[in-house]
Amino acid sequence: MADDSATQDRAITRDEGLAKNPIRNRMVVDRVSVGSGYASVDDVLDVVSRARDVFHSFVGQTLHRSYKRVPIYLVDGWIVKALGYFTSVGGRPGERGGVATGTADTAGSASAFASIHALYTELDRFSRSAEGLSVLKVIGLVGYLKQECDDLLERKARGRSETASLELLVGVLRSFLSDAQRIREMLSRDDHFKGQVNHEFFEELKARHDALLLAIENFVEGPVPHLAGVSFNASGRGGLLFDDIPELEIKAPAVVLAPHNIAIWAEGMPYHPSLSADLSTWFGCSRRDLAPFAIGMSNVLQHELTHAMLRVPNDAPDEGYRLSQDRQYTQDPGFEEGLANFVASIATARSLIKSHHGTRGPEAIDMDSSRNRKAFATWRDVIEWTYADYFRERTDPFMQTWERNARDLRAFSGMVAMFATRHGEMNWDQAARALESGVIATTGREGRR
């Protein structure tokens, strides 16, 4: 973790105070590797802000839903791993996103996540202090320590305690400090160098060493972290968070995005000739080398905004609807994830088609017109790619039913409204089976869960 002043410099916020989702940067680095080049933080903010605005317009024109403008956070590094391992809706952490099987201590979840924050903060501080002893090949040590801390997260999530690995880590740290102390003593005895020994440096190094060991101990012995949220998964592209992370100044509910992971995923996007076109109007990106990244980032954000539309509507009658949603998601996340994939893919398709035709106005388009059906067909590989590795089998019924209903997303507005505000009144297992037959359930007549 960077020092506090550097972190503040990178905590860029866009659209704060406006009637939009504010976008807040919590990434440690100041650029994202994209293919053979880089995207600056400003490039990423341009893509995210445009995708957000396009989605709000799209939802208003089709599904007629309004929902809370939750903040959007950009994150990277260990934060992404921690969210993937320890975020779920109720039950055990990791049931949805990670792999945890330990018992969650919900009451202590904030302090438990603080222990992760402390672990990586002290790792960073120790690494920066240790860089002053290049003679000890610190680069290799720092890489080893980072990997071991990442492994600690995974073992904690899996409920495993590997004493041998932990003892080895502690032994390596203590051996390094011992070597450093020997160098200090050797230099102090040398008449030529003893006046040049920086004793404050060695004392600082020991303090950082001791603080890192304590952070490791606190994390290993502390409770299993648990943050409430949906859509976090092994790919680590993003999710919707329901719990605050005060250590990172993340206020829930919030959409969390991982631009680095999205960039890696976007490298697998199927080729399309129009990817070399200017996508600035609908994807906020004029650089042609960033086109796949911009499309991927837009799609992931719109997936998470769909979860926000379903989970934090402005017209929710009470908190009971969320409990019903959580129960279903814990038992079967596929319906909600398939629905989020579907809405996001149609939003992405709409923007691709408008870019394809050079359309600049915000007006709705008829996706079933001959012209737009042909354009959709040319982009189908890209559209299907957006959900190919994530609940595809639960997304296909939505797509097929949409095509049977004149490709009109408004046909799903009743179902979406039920899910968002009267979830407990619908039997969603039956609704899923009906969808496979091309029927869109819009009332609770099918029976309650």
Asked if residue 269 and residue 201 are part of one domain, the reply reads: no
Asked if residue 235 and residue 204 are part of one domain, the reply reads: no
Q: Is the dihedral of CA 118, 124, 127, 129 positive or negative?
A: negative
The SS3 call for residue 21 is: coil
In a domain, residue 91? The reply is no
Asked if residue 382 and residue 338 are part of one domain, the reply reads: yes
Q: Check if the beta carbon of residue 229 is closer than 8 Å to that of residue 337.
A: no
Which two three-digit tokens encode residue 410? 């408004």
Q: What is the predicted pLDDT for the residue at 202?
A: 83
Q: Check if the beta carbon of residue 88 is closer than 8 Å to that of residue 94.
A: yes
C-alpha 442/C-alpha 226 separation (Å) is 34
Dump pLDDT digits (tens) for 210-268.
999 999 999 998 888 889 999 887 678 999 999 999 999 999 999 999 999 999 999 99
In a domain, residue 237? The reply is yes
Asked if residue 322 and residue 244 are part of one domain, the reply reads: yes
C-alpha 241/C-alpha 108 separation (Å) is 17
Q: What is the predicted pLDDT for the residue at 190?
A: 63
Asked if residue 342 and residue 387 are part of one domain, the reply reads: yes
Q: Is the dihedral of CA 126, 129, 134, 136 positive or negative?
A: negative
Closest CA to 226 of 102, 77, 75, 324: 102
CATH number of the domain encompassing residue 155: 1.20.1440
Using CB atoms within 10 Å of the CB of residue 421, give its burial: 0 to 12 exposed, 13 to 18 middle, 19+ buried. Answer: middle
Q: Which backbone phi and psi does 378 adopt, to 5 degrees?
A: -70, -25
Asked if residue 236 and residue 378 are part of one domain, the reply reads: yes
Asked if residue 389 and residue 271 are part of one domain, the reply reads: yes
In a domain, residue 81? The reply is no
Q: What is the predicted pLDDT for the residue at 274?
A: 80
Where a domain ends, among 191, 221, 251? 221
In a domain, residue 90? The reply is no
- Peptide linkage before 333 cis (omega within 30 of 0): no
**pLDDT tens digit at each of 449 positions of the chain:** 444 444 444 566 777 656 689 999 999 999 999 988 999 999 999 999 999 999 999 999 999 999 999 999 999 999 999 999 999 885 444 333 333 333 344 444 445 589 999 999 999 999 888 877 665 566 688 888 999 999 999 999 888 877 778 888 889 899 888 887 777 677 666 655 565 556 787 888 889 999 999 999 999 988 888 899 998 876 789 999 999 999 999 999 999 999 999 999 999 999 988 887 778 899 999 898 999 999 999 999 999 999 999 999 998 877 677 889 999 999 999 999 999 999 999 999 999 999 988 888 888 899 999 999 999 999 999 999 999 999 999 999 999 999 999 999 999 999 999 999 999 999 999 999 999 999 998 865 443 33
Where a domain ends, among 160, 189, 221? 221
Other CB atoms within 10 Å distance of the CB of residue 396: 17
Q: Check if the beta carbon of residue 34 is closer than 8 Å to that of residue 280.
A: no
The identity of residue 150, as a single letter, is D
C-alpha 355/C-alpha 192 separation (Å) is 70
- To the nearest 10°, report the CA torsion of 8, 10, 15, 21: -100
In a domain, residue 210? The reply is yes
Other CB atoms within 10 Å distance of the CB of residue 241: 26
In a domain, residue 100? The reply is no
Q: What's the structural domain count of the chain?
A: 2
Asked if residue 312 and residue 207 are part of one domain, the reply reads: no
Q: Which residue has the tokens 């992931």?
A: 300
Asked if residue 377 and residue 256 are part of one domain, the reply reads: yes
Asked if residue 111 and residue 51 are part of one domain, the reply reads: no
**CA angle in degrees (0–180, nearest 5) for 31-388-67:** 70
Domain encompassing residue 132: 106-221
C-alpha 44/C-alpha 193 separation (Å) is 50
Asked if residue 404 and residue 338 are part of one domain, the reply reads: yes
In a domain, residue 101? The reply is no
C-alpha 74/C-alpha 42 separation (Å) is 12
Q: Check if the beta carbon of residue 255 is closer than 8 Å to that of residue 304.
A: yes
Q: For the chain, state the CA radius of gyration.
A: 25
Q: pTM, whole model, 2 decimals?
A: 0.88
Dump pLDDT digits (tens) for 30-77.
999 998 899 999 999 999 999 999 999 999 999 999 999 999 999 999
C-alpha 301/C-alpha 285 separation (Å) is 15
